[in-house]
Structure 1
Amino acid sequence: MAPRARLTAVLPPLPVMGRKPRDRRQVFDGIWWRARTGSPWRDVPKRYGPWETLYSVFRRWQIDGTWARVLEKLQVKADAAGHIEWEVSVDSTICRVHQHAAGARKKGTTIRAGRVRTAWRASRDHAVGRSRGGLTTKIHLAVDSSFQVLATAVTAGQRGDAPLFTELMNRIRVPRPGSGRPRTRPAHVLADRAYSSREIREYLRRRNIPHTIPEKRDQVRHRLRRGSSGGRPPAFDREKYKARHKIENRIGLLKQARGVATRYDKLAVRYEATIQLALIRQAL
């Protein structure tokens, strides 16, 4: 099926905004143009329609979860076709925050958009952190061996990787085409030394998920210093670990969208929607 037909099959009707509805593909292309280039909304070419319409659709579909549902539909079709291999690699990447993305309100708020009324509480920092390079945001990803992104999360740039591991794993949820519970358990997990902790290994053992995670050097020294009471080293397959390079490749592909590589959205929920949009476009 051609990408245009696949997109038409998963996109919902445009929201009613008092005008004659535009072509869904035209609106989607305009929203994607902004995410691909990182341009301000006001600079979107007029051939896509008024920028106010594009931003309004983007915002409403973020509030009611449309972008997440469209991405989920594509994941369901990919899993049914056997394209998801469930050997999952976990990692994160740092994205620079543009100065226009700073200064969002720190308190929670309630958003009302037409008939859709969604109350949400924004994170205290809006996933904007300060590090040596300035303002940064960190994207956490879970990617399978066929480059399918199964889960994402955004945090402030200075946040560590290990504390987000459990939440990222819990976000893996691919419904089945027919009846049955969604699949949430990977067949294998690959991660680098940043995820080498006792809590993560115990979490994976409880869920009966095999994993390949190298030990940190200080953990090796501490175990050897304790002698026989230090226990056995965790199993590590060096050849298996080489497959983890696929998540690095997938991060590079995701950052081809300049609206993702550099964050221009003030709110974390808007930035997450931009990431979902990039994943949808690349999946097509």
Structure 2
Amino acid sequence: MSDPRPLAVAPPPRRPFTGLVGAVEGLGLAALTLVRLLGLYLRILAGRARLDVPAFAAALRQSGLSILPAITLVTLAVGAILGQQAGSFLRRFDVPELLLLSTTYAVVMELVPLLVGILVAGRAGVDLAVRQANLSVSGEVDGLLAIGIDPIAYTLGPTLLAMLIMSFAFAVWGGLMTFIAAFLWLSLETTVPPALFLDAFTSVIAPADLLEAIGKPLLFALLIGLIATVNGTAAGRDPQGVGAAATRTMIGAVAAILLADLAVIVLTGR
């Protein structure tokens, strides 16, 4: 009696977007996703398509209310730290105008937008990547395509719009909380007059600076949405790809936020 032959084991499925060619494919998917979303939003504005209101409301809660306590706590803590450091500096060097000018510019233009982008990436971006990966792993993407629904517009359309709105709101709220905490700390530790805070803001922040400070979180939210979609799609049919999609989204989003911020600084020359 001959020995039975071992059963052939099927090779694991190839993970999409791996290697150099995969990176190019991922960039192509991101560009295609951006075009599809712009088309979707234009059709909604023209009345030729409808926004999924329940999904949009759920996304607002996901990327808004669930992040608001963290945004508030982090920006208050950052403001208190800045106030403490500024007070320590003022006790050595009596240059309150110079200190407030530089601190105000750093908070408005760099610190708050970066904090907002990173927190949105950690909550809404990772959640979006996991949802997209679950659709890919479970095969629901094929079902959506079979009934004529674009899976990218289905998952990313309402979520990205909510992320854009909440990123704008968080930029304003985070800046306000940071200044309040820094102002209270400095008021308790130093004799800096409150009017200097307002003078510093109006002196160093021009209207163009405000537009840039508000536009950065919107740019970050767009990058987060695209990165989450690409990484979620890259999960393929491998269940282990869900966790990998979340990890790659967080790492990729933080890297993209920092590089995009650097690009804006270089291009605007600020």
TM-score (norm 1): 0.28
**Which has a greater percent of strand?**
1
Q: Who wins on radius of gyration, i.e. which is larger?
A: 2
TM-score (norm 2): 0.29
**Which has a greater percent of helix?**
2
